[in-house]
Amino acid sequence: LATIKKWLSLFLFRFFEISQFKRSAVPNGPKVISGGALSPRGDWRAPSDGNARVWLDELEANVP
């Protein structure tokens, strides 16, 4: 469990803090889930100004 927590923490940091998708070339971040929508704005997208701290705090609070 400690190994999973370590790598999940690293993934969350990289995805939300230093992601190349934060550039403003596309509408507000990468697609997170694919639902087969016809519109590129139909799926939820990660915010370009997102912060990993919320996700990392949640990981610390809920994973032993």
Per-residue confidence band for 28, with pLDDT thresholds at 50, 70 and 90: low
Segments forming the whole domain that contains residue 44: 2-62
Residue linked to tokens 């509408």:
27
pLDDT tops 60 at residue 23: no
Number of neighbouring beta carbons within 10 Å of residue 22: 17
Greater pLDDT, 25 or 14: 14
User: Given 3-state DSSP classes, what are the helix, strand and coil percentages for the chain, each rounded to the nearest 5?
Assistant: 45, 5, 50
pLDDT tops 60 at residue 40: no
Structure confidence at residue 18 (pLDDT): 78
Number of domains in the chain: 1
Paired tokens of 27: 């509408």
